């Protein structure tokens, strides 16, 4: 037995197997957001069909804000939309739900919303995609929960789990 070869081989091989094995069960597209616990980036964006009105995030402070980045070209966005509507209704007056449409056209947005149960909370238009970049949006849909003092508490990847959102929201009061 050549002990040098054995040792060198095992030193190379065992960590490799461990590393490869540890990757299972992790979703390689899930990237924890560095913004959690930080003040939410401020934005001021025009409202879809809002006659030129804008919404400023800081004007909403005092209530939890749930920001959902979406687009009509994103398939999963249609899947989660009913949950969002239900949540917006459930927390009406207590928390503010906002959609931010990313890389999309107003006509498409209108048509899409019409065929997906109508507009139950305002959708803003991310002009120049600056908000999406500031929030670190990668693969749509992604959502953020901002607490009463304007701090990001949670980021949701893909279609939201409404029960998780309820749990997180309730924890804020």
Which stretches of the chain bind other proteins, using CB under 8 A?
1-3, 5-6, 9-10, 13, 16-24, 26, 28-29, 31-35, 41-47, 50, 52-56, 59-60, 73, 75, 96, 102-103, 119-122, 127-139
- The nearest distance, CB 23 to other proteins, in angstroms, is 3
Rounded Cα gap, residues 33 and 39, in angstroms: 13
Q: Which is nearer to other proteins, 98 or 163 (CB)?
A: 98
DSSP-assigned states of every residue in 93-155? TTSEEEEEE-S--HHHHHHHHHHTT--SS-EEE-GGGHHHHHHT--SSPEEEEE-TTSBEEEE
Smallest separation, CB 68 to other proteins (Å): 15
For other proteins, the closer CB: 19 or 163: 19
Q: Which is nearer to other proteins, 53 or 163 (CB)?
A: 53
Q: Smallest distance from the beta carbon of 90 to other proteins, in angstroms? A: 14
CA atoms within 13 A on the CB side of 26: 10
What are the φ and ψ backbone dihedral angles of 94, each rounded to 5 degrees? Answer: -100, -35
Give least dist CB 160 to other proteins, A. Answer: 19
CA distance 160 to 1: 57
Nearer to other proteins, 136 or 162 (CB): 136
Nearest alpha carbon to residue 147 among 67, 84, 45: 67
Q: Which of 148, 163 has the CB closer to other proteins? A: 148
**CB of 43: closest distance to other proteins in angstroms?**
6
Q: Identify the CA nearest to 71 among candidates 46, 104, 99.
A: 104
Q: Which two tokens stand for residue 13?
A: 């091989």
């Amino acid at each position: 037995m050549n002990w040098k070869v054995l040792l060198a081989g095992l030193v190379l091989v065992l960590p490799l197997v461990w590393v490869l094995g540890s990757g299972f069960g992790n979703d390689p597209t899930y990237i924890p957001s560095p913004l959690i616990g930080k003040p939410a980036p401020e934005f001021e964006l025009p409202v879809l069909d809002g006659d030129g009105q804008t919404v400023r995030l800081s004007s909403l402070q005092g209530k939890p804000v749930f920001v959902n980045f979406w687009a009509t070209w994103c398939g999963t966005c249609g899947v989660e939309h009913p949950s969002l509507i239900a949540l917006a209704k459930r927390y009406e007056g207590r928390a503010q739900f906002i959609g931010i449409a990313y890389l999309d056209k107003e006509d498409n947005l209108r048509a899409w919303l019409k065929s997906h149960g109508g507009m139950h909370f305002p959708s803003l238009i991310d002009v120049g995609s600056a908000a999406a970049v500031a929030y670190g949006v990668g693969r749509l849909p992604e959502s953020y929960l901002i607490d009463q003092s304007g701090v990001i508490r949670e980021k949701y990847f893909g279609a939201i789990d409404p029960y998780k959102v309820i749990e997180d929201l309730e924890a804020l009061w």
